[in-house]
Amino acid sequence: MDRTFRTLADLLVSLPLTLDVEIDEECCGPFSIKGIELEATVMHLGLRDYVKLSALHSPAEMLVYQNMFLAWLRQSFRNNRFSVVEKKLDHAVLLLFSKSFGSEDPFVDALRTARWLGENDTLTFCPAIGVASGTVMAGFTGSGGEARASVFGRPLLVASACAMLNPQVDAASAITFPSNEWDGLSLERVFPPVEYEHPDKGRVRQPSTWKLGEPSEADLPGIGRMLLRDIANFIHWMPSVSASDKAREWVRLIRSKGFYRKIN
């Protein structure tokens, strides 16, 4: 299978289904069940401080901000070397990595994707990132033209809860995940040092800007206490303009061009 970036709906129509049945429930009538069960790593990418952003920006600016965030993610994955499946939530995006559709090591691939985002966050979105692995069920909910692709399973809850935890360090970006998923791994293997050719020094290895945190317990809502770890990047971007400023600029430009037509 081609290693490409796809949506969850794309995945559901491209792989054999685990469930493909019609249920006739006497209390609510007939409905179809179509879904795929698979082992996957889930990455939750959330808009950090969404409530604060909403308080500081107009509704139009938030619409621009969120679409800019999604466009940045899609652009980031354009040249990915492994398959990524996307599912949009209200204020976040879920990414799935699985051996079922091209990922050789789903957990490591998810961490490397998060690394790339952290090192190329030119508009300082600073997304809240949580990662967790396990069994998920992807399927359609609703029927006919109202059917939507959804995904279910404990890894979604864990990844979302990890993303919502504030890092205990002053990091530019951080990735939080269950500690047991790191067993047998090393930071140098997961995040290989960046090497480049220097005109005077030859081949140079750039020191890593990421640090692996110690395991620590956290109480995850609806899940219980869990031992977690962070990988944090301590190099802060110094952008010429932030996503917040860009959203305001775009709305001002749209208004000035006469494209903002408020309906009373």
97-123 pLDDT, tens digit each: 998 888 889 999 999 999 988 888 888
Residue 86, pLDDT > 50, answer: yes
Contacts of 225 (CB under 8 A, 6+ apart): 217, 218, 219
pLDDT tens by residue, 207-263: 788 999 999 999 988 899 999 999 998 876 676 788 999 999 999 999 999 998 888
The rounded percent of the chain whose pLDDT value lies above 90 is: 44
Specify the pLDDT at position 261: 87
Three-state SS sequence of the chain: CCCCEEEHHHHHCCCCCCEEEEEEECCCEEEEEEEEEEEEEEEEEECCCHHHHHHHCCHHHHHHHHHHHHHHHHHHCCCCCCCEEEEECCCEEEEEECHHHCCCCHHHHHHHHHHHHHHCCCCCCCCEEEEEEEEEEEEEECCHHHCEEEEECHHHHHHHHHHHCCCCCCCCEEEEEEHHHHCCCCHHHHCCCEEEEECCCEEEEECCCEEECCCEEEEECCCEEEEEEEEEECCCCCCCCCHHHHHHHHHHHHHHCCCCCCCC
pLDDT of residue 57: 94
Higher-scoring residue by pLDDT: 168, 74: 74
pLDDT of 2 above 50: no
Give me the pLDDT at residue 147, please: 78
Q: Per-residue pLDDT for 10 more than 60?
A: yes
Q: pLDDT digit string (tens) for 169-210?
A: 678 889 999 999 999 999 999 998 877 777 877 787 777 889
CA-to-CA distance for 194 and 121, rounded, in angstroms?
Answer: 17
Cα–Cα dist 74/128, whole Å: 17
Write down the mean pLDDT value for the chain. 86
pLDDT higher than threshold 90 for residue 63: yes
Q: Is 60 exceeded by the pLDDT of residue 1?
A: no
5-22+32-189+202-256: CATH topology is Alpha-Beta Plaits (3.30.70)
Range 5-33 average pLDDT? 86
User: Nearest-CA neighbor of 57 among 248, 259, 243, 261?
Assistant: 248
Angle ∠(215,217,218) on CA atoms, nearest 5: 130
Q: Return the pLDDT at 177.
A: 96
Whole-Å CA distances, 17 to 88, 136, 244: 22, 13, 42
* Predicted confidence (pLDDT) at residue 148 exceeds the cutoff of 50: yes
- Residue (of 134, 44, 144) closest to 87 by Cα position: 44
Taking a C-beta distance cutoff of 8 angstroms, is the pair 178, 218 a contact? no
